[in-house]
Amino acid sequence: MNDDGNFQLLDQNFVSLWESFTHPTDTLVPTQVMELGGELYSRQGQLNFSTGKFKLYLQHDGNLVLKLINLLSNYSNAVYFNTGTADLNNETNVGKRFVFDKSGFLYVMKKSGEKFNVSTSNDTISSNDVYYKATLNFDGVLTVSYYPKDPNKEQKWVTLKTIPENICLDSTFTDGGGVCGFNSICNLKDDQRPMCNCPEKYSLIDSNNMYGGCIPNFQVICQGGGQMGSLDDYMMKELQNTDWPKSDYETVSPCTLEQCTKSCSQDCLCVLVTFSGNSCWKKKLPLTNGRRGKEVNATSIMKLMKNDELLTPLPNKKMKEDHDTLIIVISVLLGFSVLVILMLVGTMYFGFSYNRKKIKSGGTNDGVVGKNLRNFTFKELVEATRNFSEELGRGSFSIVYKGRIDMTSVAVKKLDKLFQDNDKEFQTEVNVIGQTHHRNLVRLLGYCNEGQHRILVYEFMSNGTLASFLFTPLKANWRQRFDIASGIARGLVYLHEECCTQIIHCDIKPQNILLDDQCNARISDFGLAKLLLINQSHTETGIRGTKGYVAPDWFRSSPITTKVDTYSFGVLLLEIICCRRNVEKELADEEKGILTDWAYDCYKSRRLDILLENDDEAINNINSFEKFVMVALWCIHEDPSLRPTMKNVLLMLEGIIEVSKPPNPYLYSSAS
C-alpha cells in the first residue's frame, strides 16, 4: 500500500502485477489517472455497495460524461453532464486522460497537452492541510471532498465541489424517473446533494429508499369519455417553484389560468398542470424529473384528493361478510395445524427415544455420530461436486474434491479404496471430528454413509495446504511462520488435553495442515486418529502415519501415547522455520538430505547460520530461530518420556517457559 493510496500486488522483482489505481470503483484519490475507456460506477445506496445506476466514463472520443445506466441491461440511458472534450474536426483537441492531481484539481488532459479544467482553483485547499477524494455517489453527484489533517479541526469529510453543480436542474433524463425516481420532487440539501420528497398524498414505493420514486395514495375514478367522476372529491393545489418538465402530454393554448386548472380537474389522465403566459401544459403519471427550488421558474397546480378518508376504499357489507368468513376459516386451519404439530412432536419424541434404545442395545447403527452434522445423500454430493470433477488433492485411500453446497464452497473427501479397515477409518474420523470444535481444527460439516460410499464434507480452506505454502521459492515471512507453528500447537493441545475424549492424531504433516482465508493453521484428516478413554494413557495399534514424520515408538514394543504427535510436530516445526521438506533426496550434499539430522549437526557445531540458507527474515530473528530449533530437537527425541507435552511445547514457543539445552535426540541410534 503506497503512501498515495495505491494498493499494488508485486512479483519478486517488484514489478506490479495488479494495482487498485487502474481498477477504481466509485472513488479517485490524488495522483490517480483514468485513461480512455476508464470508468467509475456509483454504489446503489448509502450502505448498499452493489453497482449503482450512475457512471462516470471517459469515452473513446475523449469526452468525459456522467451517465444514467439501466442496471438490467447495462445500457446507457442518458448523459447528464459532459466536458465537451470530443472534437471531430481537430484530433489534437480531444481528451486523452482524466487526471486528479496531487493538489486536488480535476481536469481532462487533451492530446495537445492543454488542460480542460473540471474544477478550478476556487475549488481547492492546500493539499498540505487536507486529504482529498473524488467520489461518484449513489445519487449521481460527483463530489470532491476534503478531510482536515489538523486533529484540532472537526474530523469529517467536507464537500468542496459537486459535479454537476445542481443535479436536480442540470440533469433532464429522457429515460427513467430522474435522480429521484418517478413522481418524486428533487431539491438540493446544504451540501449540494439531492434530497427526494413525495408530493402531498403520495408515498414512497420503498420506505427505506427516498430515491426509489413515489405512488399516489388514491385512485382517480373515471367515467365514460375520460371524464372525472365526482369533482367534489378533488381539489387543485398550487406548488411554487416546482416542475416536472418531461411529463407533458397535451398543451392548451391560448387559455387563462382558470381555464387551465378546470381542464385538468375534469380530465382523468391529468394529475398536474403548469401555466406560463397564456399556455397550459397538462401532465400525466408517471411524472419524471421533478425538481423544486428558487431556480425553477415555474408554478405547478396538482390534482389531489380532498378527504384523507377517501384515500383507501371503505369495506362494504359484502367485504365485511367475506372478512368474517375468512377469520373463521383461518381459525379452523390454525387449530388443526396446532393439533398436527403436537402429533408430530410426540411421534418424533417417541421415535427418538426408541432409536436411542436400539443403539444402546446394539441395534441398527452405522457408528456415526450425527450431532451437529448433516447426513448427505450420494446424489446430493454428486450434484455439489459436478460429478466429482474438480480435484483438490489425494491421499493413500482418499481423493478430495471441491464442491458447492447452499452457495458455500466445501471440500468433499471421498474414500476411494475399499479395504478391510475402510469403514472403520471412516467411522473413526466422523466420530472424532464430530465431537471437536476449535479454531485450529478443520470443521466437519457432514458425511455420506450410503451403500459403498463413505464421504466426508469439510469446510473449504481457500489457501490450500501448508505444504504448498511452505515449499516454494518465495519464503513466507517470519511472523506468518511463527503464527502457523503456534496455531498447530494449540490445535494439538486441544486434541490431547481439552477434548472430552483424548485424541492422538497420528499423522501430523504439512499436507494435513490447511490454511484458511487469513492463513490460520487448521489441522485436518483425522482418519488415522486414535481415541483414548479418560482412564487410558496409551494405546497399542498397528503402525500409522507418514514416512519421515513417524515417531520411532511405532517400531518398538512401547505403548503409543500423545508423544507420537509431539515427535511429528518437531519434524514439522523444523520444516516451517527452514521452509524445506524433512527429506530432500535430490540434494547434492548428502548431509543436508535429512533435515532433522542436519539441524542437530548445525546446532551441535553452533553453525545455525548455514541452516538458514539466505533466509534474511530468519537471520534477522536468529534468537527466535535458535529457540525453535531447540524446541524441535526436544520434540524429536527418540525417548518419548523426554519429549515435552504439546502444552509445554506451546508455552516454550510463546516464551512463557524457558527452553533448556536439548540433549542428543538420537538415544538409540547415531545421526548419519
When mean pLDDT is compared over 205-209, 404-408, 511-515, the highest value belongs to 511-515
Give the pLDDT mean for 428-456.
82
pLDDT number for residue 75: 64
Q: Which domains does the chain have, with CATH numbers?
A: 8-165 (2.90.10.10), 215-310 (3.50.4), 374-459 (3.30.200.20), 470-653 (1.10.510.10)
Mean pLDDT of 385-405: 86
Label residue 370 by pLDDT band (50, 70, 90): very low
**Of 122-136, 525-539, 626-640, highest mean pLDDT:** 626-640
How high is the mean pLDDT of the chain?
A: 81
Residue 318 confidence (pLDDT): 42
Least confidently predicted of 101-110, 116-125, 616-625? 116-125
| Least-confidence region, from 82-91, 483-492, 529-538, 621-630 | 529-538
pLDDT at position 168 over 90: no
Length of the chain: 672
Residue 529 carries which side chain, given as an amino acid letter? A
Asked if 54 and 41 touch (Cβ cutoff 8 Å), the reply is yes
* Helix extents (H) in 435-547: 466-470, 478-493
Of 139, 243, 267, 507, the active-site residue reads 507
Q: Whole-angstrom Cα distance, residue 164 to residue 157?
A: 19
**Is 492's pLDDT higher than 90?**
yes
Residue 484 or residue 324, greater confidence: 484
The more confident residue out of 516 and 359 is 516
Q: Alpha-carbon distance 34 to 24, whole Å?
A: 9
pLDDT at 324: 53
If pLDDT is split at 50, 70 and 90, which confidence band does 610 have?
confident
Q: pLDDT at position 97, please? A: 93
Residue 218 confidence (pLDDT) above 90: no
| 354, pLDDT greater than 50 | no
The per-residue pLDDT for range 566-594, each reduced to its tens digit, is 999 999 999 999 988 998 876 656 678 88
Q: How many CA atoms lie within 13 A of 383 on its CB side?
A: 8
d(CA 416, CA 23): 45
Percentage, residues of the chain above pLDDT 90: 30
Is 70 exceeded by the pLDDT of residue 330? no
Task: Say what the pLDDT of residue 206 is.
Answer: 79
User: 608 near 602, Cβ under 8 Å?
Assistant: yes
Q: Is the pLDDT of residue 521 over 80?
A: yes
Q: What pLDDT shows up at residue 547?
A: 75
Cell numbers linked to 114: 492543454
Cα-Cα end-to-end distance for the chain = 48
Q: Find the range with the poorest average confidence among 15-29, 528-542, 656-670.
A: 528-542
What pLDDT does residue 549 have?
Answer: 87
Rounded Cα distance between 75 and 71, Å, is: 7
Q: What is the DSSP letter of 498?
A: I
Confirm whether 101 is a catalytic residue.
no
Q: Average pLDDT for residues 84-111, to the nearest whole number?
A: 89
Whole-number pLDDT of residue 312: 40
- Pick the more confident residue, 358 or 166: 166
CA 308 to chain centre: 46
pLDDT at 670: 44
* Burial zone of 1 (CB within 10 Å; 0-12 exposed, 13-18 middle, 19+ buried): exposed
Q: What residues contact residue 208 under an 8 Å CB cut-off, 6+ apart?
A: none
Over residues 20-39, the pLDDT tens digits come to: 999 999 999 999 999 999 99
Q: Which of 155-164, 305-314, 400-409, 596-605 has the weakest average pLDDT?
A: 305-314
pLDDT band per the 50, 70, 90 thresholds, residue 226: low
Cα(300)–Cα(314) distance, integer angstroms:
31
Statement: residue 57 has pLDDT above 50: yes
Q: How confident is the model at residue 534 (pLDDT cuts 50, 70, 90)?
A: very low
Cβ contacts of 200 within 8 Å, gap of 6 or more: 237, 302, 304
